[in-house]
Amino acid sequence: METEDSMICEKCKQKAEFGVTGRSAAPYRFLCLGCACEPQPDSTRTFTLSTRMVHGVIEDFLGGHTMRFLRYVSQSAAFALFMITVGCAGFDGGRSHSEAGRASPPVPVKDARNLGTPLEKDFGYAQAVKVGDTIYVSGQLSLDEKGTIHGTDMETQLWQVYANIVRVLGLYGARLKDDVGEEIIYVTDMQTALAVAPKVRLGAYSGPPQVASTIIQVAHLSVPDALVEIKVTAKAPPSLAERQGSSERSSQGSRGGGMGGGRRGGMGFPF
């Protein structure tokens, strides 16, 4: 006759630890993974399996290899994640060091010019300042070379003011007609200025002025007897060296070279 002990395979007896309840202390039958043909235990009897027993049975069922493989995969995944994290941090750090090592763009240098009038020294200012390719011209009065107001009427002073602007722009090789983009006119008498300014400006600009213009009436100007003051902003023309470099690049592009020929670049690109 088959006993309860005979329903448990020898392998399971070696691996398992049982807790038993019921009428006897003998181990109760169960359906182990190594003996799938065995019947389920009676519903009136209970049993418990220890962690060691479960792990042992699973390891035996899988032959041990799968469990080792899963542990290897989990360890490898953790190591790979660690290396990716370290690698990304190193890449970011390298990029930061690279960017920090780059030379910062040059700061535009101010190029200030003066005419040598007494007011420049007394008040402390430059007649014009060039920053980058922009020329900022200080407000010009109708001062002559001696630093005194030239003319007693609005029209005469306007002619002198524009003559002074032309002189200051010439310090940078700029021209009133071609390079001035904005002018602001300050006058002490708006009605008189509007009557005479169109004719003077037409002559000063050698034609209809192509410039943004603003005219403002003020109570008085910085110098007694001054009736008008004008400030302008202009674009500096390219220097001689810049023009020569541009001309050389243009001629090289027109000659082409390599397999391109014609107006194309060395490898036939259209620039």
- Please tell me the distance from the alpha carbon of residue 20 to that of residue 15, in angstroms, as a whole number: 16
Residues 92-109: pLDDT tens digits?
555 555 555 566 677 778
pLDDT band at 249 (very low <50, low <70, confident <90, very high): low
- Answer CATH for 110-238 from 3.30.1330.40, 3.20.20.140, 3.40.50.1820, 3.40.50.300: 3.30.1330.40
Between strands 18-20 and 110-113, the pairing is unpaired
Residues 32-68: pLDDT tens digits?
444 544 444 444 444 444 555 555 555 555 555 566 6
Q: For the whole model, what pTM was predicted? A: 0.53
Torsion (CA) 11, 15, 16, 17 in degrees, nearest 10: 140
Output the pLDDT for position 100.
53
Q: 154-170 and 190-204 helices cross at what angle (nearest 10)?
A: 40
Output the pLDDT for position 79.
78
Question: In which residue ranges of the chain is CATH 3.30.1330.40 found?
Answer: 110-238
Q: Is the pLDDT of residue 260 over 70?
A: no
- Please tell me the distance from the alpha carbon of residue 2 to that of residue 139, in angstroms, as a whole number: 120
Cβ contact 139:239 at 8 Å: no
